[in-house]
Amino acid sequence: MTSKLWHAVVAKVFSNKLNLGVYAEEPALDKRNNND
Amino acid sequence: MPYVIKLLHPKGERLPEQSSGCAGEMDWAIDHCALGLNCGGHRRKLLSCFGRSLASLDGKPADGQIMFWGEWEPPSRYKKMKHPSLGKDGLPSYIHTPSIRYIQEEERVLNTDPYVLGTTFYYSCCQQARLLAKPDLPENSIILFGSRFKHRFILDTVFVVERAVESIKLTATAREAIIAVHPNRPAGMSLFAGKMRTDTQTEMFSFFLVYRHRTPEDLRDRLSRLTIWIWPIMESTGLTIKIRGLRVHGWKTE
């Protein structure tokens, strides 16, 4: 049932010349960033 | 039966607390409620980083620098955007590159929800206590995350629920941004993983709205297109929707 809504939103995104973002690189957490 | 839920970042764009020129570092957003002060609420940032996006459902994903509205309450490096029309009409004033550091024991900072960086999206907290009678969301439930501006809903993320997962599966960065900020995380809250696009999962996946980096001349036009009014879409689907509660903007499909 919700697939109908999903496809409607996707169509709206593409009609507005936007893209679907499926991955964004997360920053790495390591000791060098620690304020301790 | 899956749910359709609309959730808002309650405030507008997150701005530097003090004007410090055109660029700088923004630290973790403070959780004023936890400190007994007036609640500041979650805000959105225009984020820029390396990512992957699709220009069509059957197209090949493109890798490169992307820009998108999202909630990122950990630190970030920001730059003021120079186009004169930006900072008005709901358009951003700053662009942020996400960064991260460990939270200090005495700090009370805001979590990030939804978490959309990394290979899996997560929904961990927002409105769960009021929204869900039990900490469960059926597979393929959809959560529309966004902001409100002048009575319009600015959609930024479509989260398709896959299943509830254990927090042990989180990356170190995600754990800090989602779990470590809640030293006394309430019992009964679920951590939901989003359904992600794969070679075999090419429909009903989670995504955020994005465009590739362009020249400054068309910046305002393209940012304006990040505003999507959701009600006509809901109506066009012909779904019968049931309001579960005025304050939580949740609907159940029937």
Rounded to two decimals, the pTM is 0.86
User: 3-class DSSP state for residue B210?
Assistant: strand
How far apart are alpha carbons B222 and B230 in whole angstroms? 18
Q: Is A20 on the interface with B (CB under 8 A)?
A: yes
| Shortest CA gap A14–chain B (Å) | 7
Given the cut 0.85, state whether the ipTM is greater than it.
yes
**CA-based nearest residue in chain B for residue A22:** B207
The verdict on a CB contact (< 8 Å) between A22 and B98 is no
Write down the H helix ranges in chain B.
128-131, 172-174, 219-224, 230-237
Q: Is A26 on the interface with B (CB under 8 A)?
A: yes
Using one digit for the tens of pLDDT, what is the confidence trace for B155-214? 889 999 999 888 778 899 999 998 888 766 666 788 899 999 999 989 999 999 886 655
Sign of CA dihedral A2, B249, B225, B236: positive
The segments of chain B whose pLDDT lies below 70 read 19-20, 34-40, 83-89, 130-135, 151-152, 183-187, 211-254
Range of the domain at B151: 3-253
pLDDT at B84: 60
pLDDT at B246: 32
Count of structural domains, chain B:
1
Q: Using a CB-CB distance cutoff of 8 angstroms, which residues of chain B are in contact with residue A34?
A: 101-102
Q: Using a CB-CB distance cutoff of 8 angstroms, which residues of chain B are in contact with residue A29?
A: 100-102, 172-173, 176
Q: How far is CA B175 from CA B10, B121, B169, in A?
A: 23, 12, 9
